[in-house]
Amino acid sequence: MKKFVIHFIAGARPNFMKIAPIVKAMERRQQEGEGRVNNFQVKIVHTGQHYDKNMSEVFFRELGIPEPDYNLEVGSGSHAEQTGNVMMAFEKILLKDRPDLVVVVGDVNSTIACSLTAKKLGIRVAHVEAGLRSFDMEMPEEINRILTDRISDLLFVTEESGITNLKNEGVSEDRIHFVGNVMIDTLMSNLEKLDGEEYEVSPAVGNFIGENIDYGVMTLHRPSNVDDKDVFLRIWAAVQEIGSKIPILFPVHPRTRARMSDFGFKPDGVQLIDPIGYMDMLSAFRKAKLVLTDSGGLQEETTYLGVPCITIRENTERPSTIEIGTNYLAGTDPDKICSIANEILEGRGKKGQIPPLWDGKAAERIVEVLVNGNIFSWK
């Protein structure tokens, strides 16, 4: 029987925790010796969009992702440069390997670059985390999501809004599969490791959380929040105010670090550290009193854990975290950010629930569709 080759694309930090459980679910089924799944050959392609050790390598190691079969090493650049460089490098690999399916995750530049390149060579594409919409076309990620979904053959959806959005865009139902959230698969399996004391937290995080019973965690890296000095300073005013009530740990993204240096900004009142790996981050935010963020993934992870999250954005593509979970959409107005923080710190924060199918089995469902769906011809 023919071997079906599947390429999994990993480009930037938030991609790694999404491919890890799918690759593992595939390996698990192969070890169980199930007939069809043994005809899959999995290859991992790292585009190199993120390349620093603590933005990439540490995630591969901690999450047990196999070494990439290919590393395109594209690095940073403008949107056009980065997207174009990924496309040119990936096309060569595709022409050599001729995979039967390319699996892309999330909404980063590597996601659209690889899906577009594959599709134009007549190779099928599966998009994991399809259908999310912020309805804000100023976000590069929104453009990436819409275009990737438009050309993908298989759309794996994390939350119910994704199904509605895709149907509203005229996508036929047979392409849509509501499977749950692979990011939560990764979260659940690594929580077990932390509880089983298989992981020793690094001093940068351990010292902070060890000294503080009540603390907050913050991340901030969106261009709309960190590239404009006025916006950044408005947000920082709120952060300092909250930081005067509760100590805040802030692992700083390289983009944010660079902007702060451009602005000549010397922050105080908050504990700044370099970017940290997956396990350190999970150790930090799982027991936090509150999280301040503009990340997509953290909105979901905090909802799963029931940790209050203040999202410093005007919109979110993950509405279930607001409607069902513990997430608040605060925008960038310092008064609004502080008043939500006060509500949480005074114990009046909302009590959330876990959205449907965020149960640790999303990757299994995806593999089931790949193996027993009608994507491959098994003759």
CB of 144 to ligand UD1, least distance (A): 6
Nearer to ligand UD1, 280 or 364 (CB): 280
- Give yes or no for residue 52 binding ligand UD1 (CB under 6 A): yes
Q: Which is nearer to ligand UD1, 165 or 256 (CB)?
A: 256
Active-site hit among 50, 177, 221, 253: 221
Which one of 31, 76, 353, 372 is in contact with ligand UD1 (CB under 6 A)?
76
Q: Is 12 in the site for ligand UD1 (CB under 6 A)?
A: yes
Contact in structure between 112 and 123 (CB atoms under 8 Å) = no
CA dihedral 60, 62, 64, 67 (to 10 degrees): 30
In 245-350, which residue ranges form alpha helices assigned H by DSSP? 254-263, 278-285, 297-305, 320-323, 334-345
Structure tokens at 209: 């959380």
* Closest-CA residue to 13 (of 296, 292, 358): 296
Least Å distance between CB 255 and ligand UD1?
A: 4
Using DSSP's 3-state secondary structure scheme, residue 162 falls into helix
Q: Does 49 bind ligand UD1 (CB under 6 A)?
A: yes
Q: One-letter amino acid identity for 98?
A: R
Two tokens, residue 272: 């700044």
As given in the structure block, the two tokens for residue 373 are 């769906």
Does residue 255 bind ligand UD1 (CB under 6 A)?
Answer: yes
Q: Is residue 199 part of the contact set for ligand UD1 (CB under 6 A)?
A: no
* Binding segment toward ligand UD1, per CB under 6 A, in 17-25, 229-237, 251-259, 367-375: 251-259
CB of 78 to ligand UD1, least distance (A): 9
Contacts (CB under 6 A) with ligand UD1, residues 139-168: 140-141
**Runs of H (alpha helix) within the chain:** 13-31, 57-62, 79-97, 109-120, 140-151, 160-168, 182-195, 203-211, 223-226, 229-243, 254-263, 278-285, 297-305, 320-323, 334-345, 362-372
Question: Cα–Cα distance between 87 and 89 in angstroms, integer?
Answer: 6
Q: Does 14 bind ligand UD1 (CB under 6 A)?
A: yes
Biggest CA–CA distance in the chain, Å, is 66
Cβ atoms 327, 313 nearer than 8 A: no
Find the shortest distance in angstroms from Cβ 13 to ligand UD1.
Answer: 4
Q: Is 313 in the site for ligand UD1 (CB under 6 A)?
A: no
Region from 31-39, 44-52, 57-65, 346-354 binding ligand UD1, contact rule CB under 6 A: 44-52
* Residues 180 and 357 sit within 8 Å (Cβ to Cβ): yes
Annotation says 79 is catalytic: no
Binding mask 93-112 for ligand UD1 (x = CB under 6 A): --------------xxx---
Single residue of 84, 254, 267, 331 touching ligand UD1 by CB under 6 A: 254
Q: Encoding tokens for residue 198?
A: 């298989």
Are the C-beta atoms of 142 and 136 separated by less than 8 Å?
A: yes
In the bound complex, what is the minimum distance in angstroms from residue 30's beta carbon to ligand UD1? 31
Say whether residue 261 binds ligand UD1 (CB under 6 A): no
- Kindly state the smallest distance separating residue 377's Cβ from ligand UD1, in Å: 34
Give, as ranges, the residues between 115 and 144 that touch ligand UD1 (CB under 6 A). Answer: 140-141
Point out the residues that are catalytic.
221
Site residues for ligand UD1 per CB under 6 A: 12-14, 49-52, 55, 76, 107-109, 140-141, 221, 253-255, 258
